Amino acid sequence: MSAGASGAPADRSDGARDPLPDEARRALTAWRAAGDRIVFTNGVFDLLHRGHAEYLARARALGERLLVGVNSDASVRRLKGPARPIVIAEDRAALLEALACVDLAVIFDDDTPARLIEAVRPDILVKGGDWAVAQIAGRELVESYGGRVLSIPLREGCGTSALIQRIREGRSALEG
């Protein structure tokens, strides 16, 4: 169920775009009614690799549901430069949702996931270990209603930028 790919967010009464598509809002309502703890993380996830899979599995293990915010193509370009993304947002969201540990992927267009986090109101907010807890977007909001904010260690040597560099240089995985 790729909310980012299947449904556009609705307009709010104040004229701003609601960052949550209707499909995602319905899923969150059902999960909360069932008493599920909702974990939220976000990122670009441009070339899905082992580090991503392990990180997402650890995030999911913290609760019953994992919602992943996926940076839109425009957001990635603003954050990473004109050569990115490599894979379009709808495909990145679909690949994430193909993982058993991911329940829902929602594409967001902002440079930070703060508005999406406000709409989701996760029980647990997670980022990779390259983020100090104090720097995680949405931390103050989540902590204000009793939620937890965690930084999960990442697998050493597994990063998208390094993978892209190795591909550009024509080196195989066996060359390091």
pLDDT digits (tens, 9 = 90+) for 133-162: 999 999 999 999 999 999 998 877 677 777
Q: What is the mean pLDDT of residues 106-122?
A: 97
> Is the pLDDT assigned to residue 12 strictly greater than 50?
no
38-43 mean pLDDT: 97
- Distance (Å, rounded) from C-alpha 97 to C-alpha 143? 27
Over residues 156-166, the pLDDT tens digits come to 767 777 788 88
Tokens found for residue 143: 């902590």
Predicted local confidence at residue 155, as pLDDT: 75
Q: What is the pLDDT of residue 110?
A: 95
Q: Is 167 helix (H, G, I), strand (E, B) or coil?
A: helix
- At 174 the pLDDT is 87
Query: What is the chain's mean pLDDT, rounded?
Result: 89
Q: Among 3.10.450.40, 3.30.1950.10, 3.30.565.10, 3.40.50.620, what is the CATH number of 17-175? A: 3.40.50.620
Asked if residue 55 has pLDDT above 90, the reply is: yes
Q: Taking residues 84-109, what's their average pLDDT?
A: 97
SS3 call for 108: strand
Res 176: pLDDT: 60
- Other Cβ atoms less than 10 A from the Cβ of 130: the count is 10
Helix intervals (H) in 14-170: 22-33, 50-60, 73-80, 89-97, 114-120, 139-144, 160-168
CB atoms inside a 10 Å sphere around CB 64? 14
Inform me whether the pLDDT recorded for 11 exceeds 50: no
| Average pLDDT rounded to a whole number, residues 32-60 | 95
Query: 7: pLDDT confidence band, cut at 50, 70 and 90?
Result: very low
State the pLDDT at residue 8.
45
